[in-house]
Amino acid sequence: MVTAEFNPLTPEALADPYPMYRELLAHNPVSWNSTFQTWVFTRYEDVDAILTHQQTSADRRSGSNSFAEMQRKYIEEHPEDLFVRAPTMLTADPPEHTRLRRLVSKAFTPRAVENLRPRIQSIVDEILDDVAGDGEMDLVQTVGYPLPVIVIAEMLGVPTKDRAKFKEWSDDIVATLGGPFTPQDVLQAAEKARHALVEYLSGVIEERRKDPQDDLISGLIAAEDEGTALSTQEIYSTTILLLVAGNETTTHLIDNGMLALLKNPEQMQLLRDDPSLIKSAVEELLRFIGPVQATGRTFTEDAEIGGQALKARESTLVLLGAANHDPAKWGDNADKLDVTRNPVDHVGLGDGIHFCLGAPLARAEAQITISTLLERFPKLKLAVDEPEWGGTFIIRGVKSLPLTF
């Protein structure tokens, strides 16, 4: 057994994890990490094998490491916290996962999202109209943050006046994705946000029971009423998950993606010259600089991955960002941005039964936003040499992205 010097929490790794990934891929692709008490996998072949393996659990409480113990302890100490007690699509296993996903999936099919495209385009146009005469903007604050929360809030049926609160609550919850090393004040803020969301949603759900609307919350209630066994707790936790999942990750996809294009002007010019490349370009941006860098699975039975024997209840950390830069999969130019690559089998959105449910929506928002920015602002440039990175080693994104146009 080889111990890796893997520390994604250093300022250098948080700012740019890809040199660390290259080192691991070349010299330590499978390793035990004593700090995280988990096996770390980096190669594309191994990562995808774990994501699609039938003898794994996405439930963070099921493992034998410190993070799983922290989750179990939290639930014991906070029996009233519906979000962590009720299963969600992100952490549930079959058959619960299958049931939950089936109930929500109709809202996120490619056809359903295609019907949303005109509205998404309208929102992007309205946002950019407001700044078009300024000559400068912070893309994160102007587009990246507001667009996804407006879209998902409209789908859920959240009134416009409440969207700022939804954004704040979502940000506080997402900030805990760093795992057991999350600061106590951040954990407390997330707990407060979950309680606030549940209290708010209880009123919305009560209103929708009396007066159903054409929105996702009404659909979840109808599914429950039709005997599909969605409990009130599951409506709460599913709604919160959709809000969080539809917010931070799409924000960072748009912002990280534009940063990558601006730093690779020849690729940006290819996209300007041939707008039909936008779908391929967004897939390449998900591979090259995707927002979700890592996820975890726990094996429910003994297994072997990448030559490493794994025991039941042992945890694995799969580095999606490393797998998406693995030369064995992507060739010698794995670290280069190529908008013509069309890497449809990247793992930037996961794989297997937990493949990102909102993938069609995230893709549509990124495609529309990036295409519109390039079309409307031919002189678009970075206003800083290097933006400041934020987030965690799980979800990575720039804090701000000042642009001139």
Q: Is residue 379 part of a domain?
A: yes
- Note whether residue 24 is domain-resident: no
Model pTM above 0.85: yes
Q: What is the CATH number of the domain that holds 98?
A: 1.10.630.10
Structure tokens at 205: 């759900």
**Residue-range definition of the domain harbouring residue 89:** 74-288+324-404
Phi first, then psi, for residue 296 (nearest 5°) are: -135, 155
- Residue 226 inside a domain? The answer is yes
Q: Which residue has the tokens 């975890």?
A: 296
Amino acid at 182: T
Examine residue 397 and state whether it is found in any structural domain, yes or no.
yes
Does residue 94 lie in a domain region? yes
Quick check: is 368 in a domain? yes
User: Is 204 within a domain?
Assistant: yes
C-beta neighbour count of 160 within 10 angstroms? 9
- Per-residue pLDDT of the chain (405 residues), as tens digits, is 344 468 888 889 989 999 999 999 999 999 998 888 889 999 999 999 999 999 999 886 777 766 677 667 766 776 655 555 566 788 889 988 988 898 888 888 888 999 999 999 999 999 999 999 999 999 999 999 999 989 998 999 988 888 888 888 888 887 776 555 678 888 789 889 988 988 998 999 999 999 999 999 998 888 865 666 678 888 888 888 888 777 889 999 999 999 999 999 999 999 999 999 999 999 999 999 999 999 999 999 999 999 999 999 999 999 999 999 999 999 999 999 999 999 999 999 999 999 999 999 999 999 999 999 999 999 999 999 999 998 788 999 999 999 999
Distance separating alpha carbons of residues 199 and 401, to the nearest angstrom: 34
| Tally of domains within the chain | 1
In a domain, residue 269? The reply is yes
